[in-house]
């Protein structure tokens, strides 16, 4: 459940991050489009200036030349509805005379001034537009790459975490007894080897009394039920940092870390009473115990513990013997 919630949170964060990037990208595109629109008006104006003057000054048609000789009328028509054009003329310090001028001199000079300015500005604007379009393309490509990268990264994280979780699950399963959900002998030896020798620990061996008769008389399903119930009772009587191991058949070993014999006896006595008083679906179950105190678990330790357990059985079962 926690893993699914984490994956859901990861996907949600990725979606929100991508949405944020998309918003940022769109804002940048809007700004660029505004800049493009700002440049289009003077660009068209400058293009028209070139076109009109070229058409007027280079044509052999004298009437067409005379049509544009009145510079006041010519520019008044062009600028009356465009503040951008007015600003352009003011910026370039182009002054419009309010009377007809000599077509061979003044108009030609004005034409040369505007033609030179228009060509220069027109090329600059075209270059700016080209750069803005390229920048817009780069932004689009960059954000697409980032979006794809986030998605791929999120998927890779999920895959890696799933692989790790699966690996951990398989590793954990190799150390577990499937029926009782307790550790097995393999895990016992691993933990025993890692225990610090400067600490005292209590080791308990438990054997369910007359377990074979339970299987013979009530079937293996009933026997499995008893094993699981006993494991649960043990689990409720120990701390989180203690360990339960299914040693084999109806036997369990309990490791009480950093616990001396006195502390271990309190646990085993309560455990014995809880098993004896527990309702196993109409069955009365008891267990025999062996217990020892040790700072290092060896084969000799296990041998003495096993002997203590069988001493409890020999003396009548449902009892505790100290090794």
The answer as to whether 177 is a domain residue is no
The answer as to whether 173 is a domain residue is no
pLDDT at position 165, please? 77
- pLDDT tens-digit map of 29-81: 667 666 656 555 555 555 555 555 555 554 544 554 444 444 444 555 555 54
Q: How many domains are contained in the chain?
A: 2
Question: Do 65 and 144 belong to one domain?
Answer: yes
Centre a 10 Å sphere on the Cβ of residue 206 and count the other Cβ atoms it contains.
25
- Of 96, 131, 163, the residue that ends a domain is 163
Question: Do 152 and 252 belong to one domain?
Answer: no
Indicate which CATH number applies to the domain containing 283. 3.30.70.270
Question: Do 104 and 9 belong to one domain?
Answer: yes
Residue 292 confidence (pLDDT) above 80 = yes
Question: Do 114 and 157 belong to one domain?
Answer: yes
pLDDT at position 37, please? 62
- pLDDT tens-digit map of 260-285: 999 999 999 999 999 999 999 989 99
- Of 105, 133, 163, the residue that ends a domain is 163
pLDDT at position 170, please? 75
Report whether 123 contacts 46 (CB < 8 A): no
Q: How confident is the model at residue 100 (pLDDT cuts 50, 70, 90)?
A: very low
Q: Residues 249, 228, 209, 172: what is their CA dihedral angle, to the nearest 10 degrees?
A: 40
The answer as to whether 110 is a domain residue is yes
Which among 162, 250, 269, 293 is annotated as catalytic? 250
Domain that holds residue 200: 182-322
Question: Do 98 and 148 belong to one domain?
Answer: yes
The answer as to whether 49 is a domain residue is yes
- pTM for the whole structure: 0.55
Q: Encoding tokens for residue 284?
A: 């009365």
Which of 89-93, 171-175, 305-309 comes out lowest in average pLDDT? Answer: 89-93
Any residues with CB less than 8 A from the CB of 228 and at least 6 apart, and which? Answer: 179, 180
Question: Do 186 and 158 belong to one domain?
Answer: no
- pLDDT tens-digit map of 227-256: 999 999 999 999 999 999 999 899 999 999
The answer as to whether 168 is a domain residue is no
Known active-site residue 250: yes
The answer as to whether 174 is a domain residue is no
Question: Do 89 and 201 belong to one domain?
Answer: no
For the residues 92-118, what does the mean pLDDT come to? Answer: 48
For the residues 203-217, what does the mean pLDDT come to? Answer: 95
Question: Do 139 and 216 belong to one domain?
Answer: no
Question: Do 149 and 288 belong to one domain?
Answer: no
- Of 136, 163, 190, the residue that ends a domain is 163
Residue 126 confidence (pLDDT) above 90 = no
For the residues 82-93, what does the mean pLDDT come to? Answer: 54
Centre a 10 Å sphere on the Cβ of residue 63 and count the other Cβ atoms it contains.
7
Question: Do 208 and 155 belong to one domain?
Answer: no
Question: Do 190 and 312 belong to one domain?
Answer: yes
Centre a 10 Å sphere on the Cβ of residue 255 and count the other Cβ atoms it contains.
23
pLDDT at position 124, please? 63
- pLDDT tens-digit map of 17-29: 666 666 666 676 6
pLDDT at position 172, please? 72
Whole-angstrom distance, CA of residue 295 vs CA of residue 200: 5
- 219-237 in b/e form (b: 16+ CB < 10 A) is eeebbebbbebbbebbeeb
The answer as to whether 231 is a domain residue is yes
- pLDDT tens-digit map of 218-230: 999 999 999 999 9
Q: Encoding tokens for residue 267?
A: 């646990």
The answer as to whether 175 is a domain residue is no
Q: How confident is the model at residue 101 (pLDDT cuts 50, 70, 90)?
A: very low
Question: Do 94 and 155 belong to one domain?
Answer: yes
């Amino acid at each position: 459940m926690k893993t699914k919630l984490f994956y859901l949170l990861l996907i949600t964060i990725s979606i929100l991050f991508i949405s944020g990037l998309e918003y940022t990208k769109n804002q940048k595109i809007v700004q660029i489009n505004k800049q493009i629109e700002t440049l289009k008006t003077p660009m068209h104006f400058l293009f028209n200036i070139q076109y009109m003057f070229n058409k007027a000054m280079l044509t052999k048609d004298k009437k067409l030349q005379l049509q544009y000789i009145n510079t006041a009328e010519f520019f008044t028509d062009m600028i009356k509805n465009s503040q951008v054009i007015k600003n352009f003329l003011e910026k370039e310090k182009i002054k419009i005379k309010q009377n007809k001028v000599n077509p061979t001199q003044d108009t030609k000079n004005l034409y040369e001034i505007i033609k030179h300015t228009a060509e220069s500005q027109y090329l600059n604007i075209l270059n700016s537009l080209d750069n803005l379009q390229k920048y817009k393309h780069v932004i689009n490509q960059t954000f697409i790459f980032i979006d794809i990268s986030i998605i791929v990264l999120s998927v890779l994280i999920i895959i890696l975490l799933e692989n790790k979780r699966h690996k951990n699950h398989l590793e954990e399963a190799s150390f577990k007894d499937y029926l009782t959900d307790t550790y097995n002998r393999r895990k016992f030896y691993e933990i025993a080897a890692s225990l610090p020798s400067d600490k005292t620990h209590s080791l308990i061996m438990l054997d369910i009394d007359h377990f074979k008769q339970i299987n013979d008389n009530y079937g293996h399903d009933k026997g499995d039920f008893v094993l699981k119930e006993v494991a649960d009772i043990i689990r409720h009587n120990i701390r989180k940092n203690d360990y339960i191991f299914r040693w084999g058949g109806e036997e369990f070993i309990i490791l009480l870390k950093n616990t001396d014999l006195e502390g271990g006896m309190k646990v085993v006595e309560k455990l014995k009473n809880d098993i004896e008083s527990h309702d196993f679906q109409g069955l009365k179950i008891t267990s025999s115990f062996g217990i020892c105190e040790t700072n290092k678990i060896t084969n000799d330790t296990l041998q003495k513990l096993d002997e203590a357990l069988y001493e409890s059985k020999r003396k009548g079962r449902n009892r505790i013997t100290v090794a």
